Structure 1
Amino acid sequence: MVNIKDVAKKAGVSVTTVSRVINNRGYIGKETRKKVEKAMADINYSPNQIARALQKSQSYLLGVIVPDSEHPFFAELIKNIELYAYKNNYKLLLCNSLDEAEKETNYIGMLRENRVDGIIMCSQTLDVEEYKKVDLPIVSFDRIMSNDIPYVGSDNFNGGRVATKHLVDSGCQKLLHLSGPLDLDMLPNRRSDAFKLVCMEHDIPYKIIEEEYSRDTFSFFEHHEKFIEEKVSKELLTYDGVFCSNDILAYALYIHAQKRGINVPEQLKIVGYDFNSFTRMLQKPKLTTVKQPVDRIGRELCSTLINMIEDKDGEKRNNTIVDIELIRGETT
């Protein structure tokens, strides 16, 4: 069987250089990396992942816990996490918590039993203190847990500010915000803070209606439809602009308005949030929305966790906030 020495001889480099390429450690010039990778392909050499794991006391497994991988945003986020993990020779164990605290607790235990090297937490139903007890590197998406647990998220406050300011600049005189539950200490709640602030700055009357998370038998769209029918429909004509917490909710609101004969955007302007694959596939209408760069968020989550695992730089990990962008469509 060919080994790492054969690769080094074929590429004309040292065994140390080949090891650095395989383990993605240290600086390797582009041409040198290409030479080593070509040599590996030419002699059909494949690194022994099990041996590497035993040598470094690593499993090269990352745990990812999401609320629901069926949701377009999280489906796209998982894809981008996996792409970066694959490039760095890591694999994923994916768990759906369905926003159930007991299930999330059990999954954390299962991931520890399977010796994952670290966890990306996109579902946060437990008290912050519970995450501090997990004796593994953790990176959080959209939640501040502690000084020792870094987080990655988009600029939620600016996203809420940009969305609300756009509605005001479009001539809206009374605004409604359909948000997620605001009792949870989550970074997306900063969107609601910004919404209130912009409305007060422009002396615009406003209201916020919270949509509770629910794990019923409805699809995401049907769940939003039910929420709109029960909590929003009766007073919808009172407002001329609505900022929705996500794009599926914004689209459900658009369909509801169409059924009621409310013209969008003439009578009612709608702004969503996310610009995920679902939104990009929509042909009619093209939603006005705030884009979260899900590709960069996924990359930052994964790279932050891998750096913690491999203790690169040996420093405290910084939190990462990525920029948002307003995507103008046909609903404003």
Structure 2
Amino acid sequence: MANIREIAKLAGVSVTTVSRVLNDHPYVSEEKKSAVYKAMEELNYNRNIKAIQLSKGISNMIGVVLPTIEHPYFSRIVEGIAEEAIKHHLQIVLFQTNYETSKELDALELLRGNLMDGLVFCSRAISFDTLNEYKEHGPIILCEDSDQEEFPTISIPHEQAFKFGLEYLISKGHTRIAYSLGRKEGTNSTKRRKAYENKMREINQPLRDEWFFDQCLSIKDGQQIGRKYMNVKEKPTAILVSNDQVAAGLLLEANELKLKIPEDLAVLSFDNQPISEAMHISTIEIPIIEMGRMAVTSIINSKNKTNSTDKKITLPFRLVERSTV
């Protein structure tokens, strides 16, 4: 393939001028630009875009770390990321980890090698101590409600939102309230559990282990809650569920068990996915797609040394009342 010296000779300009044209330098006359482009065409010259990008410390790629693409919560974050990335001519690379820290480390190592312009963690298992080891290699954005100040975060205030959901159920006459979480150890789940325990103490309700349902993410998990509910001796009258998929599964199982919703068990969920509208599930809406968009904006601002993005971005939530409460 032709090199820039050959282009310069054919165009009748200096090598420096060719270099400036290739790198979009503003101080080159239109006449010389045209001559260089014509020479490039005649010599069938193709730029090694990737090499140029790496030499500048950019890749035009953003890594997205998530446990699974199958869950609507994570797929909608990716939808927001993709929409914003396209606007800025960025590509995204997905790292599906199933919460395996070794796979999260693979993404971080690519950031260290300048093969990514930044990483968005939709959810994570890896520790802050490990993340700190990679902080200097590029922006790392966390879609979680954490209190640390080292990394930018984008999330609703989960403790406040869970408390709001509990208070809504209480306002409807419920005090015997169960709840479900995706996982105990997650940052957002920790906030939710704290809100639940504080509210139960506030209304003088004991904390019953049998009213807590862990590892609940899918429709199948919701169906299992329904079956477990039937075996609980002292039954709750309401349940606050961590996402709409679980709530949908619970409603499907309730129908099989001839359990009346909300008369026997009121169900309040989170996210406001399309399935919640289809099944008339009362839910607390999270602006998930906007979360993804803002994560990309945060990376771009960080790469451009822009201070317009706060370290902690708190998004609003709202109640969507339907027929399950």
TM-score (norm 2): 0.76
Question: Which digits, 9 at most, give the CA deviation of each residue in 1:48-101, with x for residues without a partner?
Answer: 965873574211111111111111111111010111111122111111111222
Contact kept in structure 2, 1:164 and 1:199, CA below 8 Å: no
Separation of aligned partners in 1, 2:76 and 2:233: 32
Contact kept in structure 2, 1:67 and 1:97, CA below 8 Å: yes
Separation of aligned partners in 2, 1:206 and 1:238: 13
Separation of aligned partners in 2, 1:54 and 1:148: 26
Q: Which residue of 2 aligns with 1:212?
A: 215
Deviation of 1:190 after TM superposition, in Å, equals 1.6
Q: Which residue of 1 aligns with 2:155?
A: 153
Q: Which residue of 2 aligns with 1:24?
A: none
Q: Structure 1 residue 318 and structure 2 residue 311: aligned?
A: yes
Q: Give 1 or 2 for the bigger CA radius of gyration.
A: 2
CA 223–232 in structure 1, closer or farther in 2 if over 3 Å, else same? same
**Superposition RMSD in Å:** 2.8
How many pairs does the alignment contain?
Answer: 278
CA 235–95 in structure 1, closer or farther in 2 if over 3 Å, else same? same
Amino acid at match of 1:154: I
Separation of aligned partners in 1, 2:233 and 2:157: 28
TM-score (norm 1): 0.75
Equivalence map 1:221-300=2 (5 Å): 221-226=219-224, 228-229=226-227, 231-235=228-232, 238-280=235-277, 282=278, 285-300=279-294
Deviation of 1:198 after TM superposition, in Å, equals 2.8
Q: Structure 1 residue 196 and structure 2 residue 190: aligned?
A: no
CA 124–236 in structure 1, closer or farther in 2 if over 3 Å, else same? farther
Structure 2 unaligned regions, length at least 5:
1-25, 28-47
Equivalence map 1:80-91=2 (5 Å): 80-91=80-91
Separation of aligned partners in 1, 2:147 and 2:49: 33
Separation of aligned partners in 1, 2:81 and 2:306: 19
Amino acid at match of 2:164: V
Separation of aligned partners in 2, 1:296 and 1:237: 41
Amino acid at match of 2:172: S
Separation of aligned partners in 2, 1:288 and 1:243: 10
Q: Secondary structure at the match of 1:93?
A: strand
Q: Which residue of 2 aligns with 1:307?
A: 301
Structure 1 counterpart of 2:320, from 314, 321, 327: 327
Contact kept in structure 2, 1:174 and 1:205, CA below 8 Å: no
Contact kept in structure 2, 1:85 and 1:91, CA below 8 Å: yes
Separation of aligned partners in 2, 1:326 and 1:225: 24
Separation of aligned partners in 2, 1:127 and 1:205: 32
Q: Secondary structure at the match of 2:199?
A: helix
Separation of aligned partners in 1, 2:52 and 2:314: 34
Amino acid at match of 1:76: R
Contact kept in structure 2, 1:154 and 1:297, CA below 8 Å: no
Q: Which residue of 2 aligns with 1:58?
A: 58
Separation of aligned partners in 1, 2:176 and 2:221: 26
Equivalence map 1:109-148=2 (5 Å): 109-110=109-110, 112-113=112-113, 115-134=115-134, 135-142=137-144, 144=146, 146-148=148-150
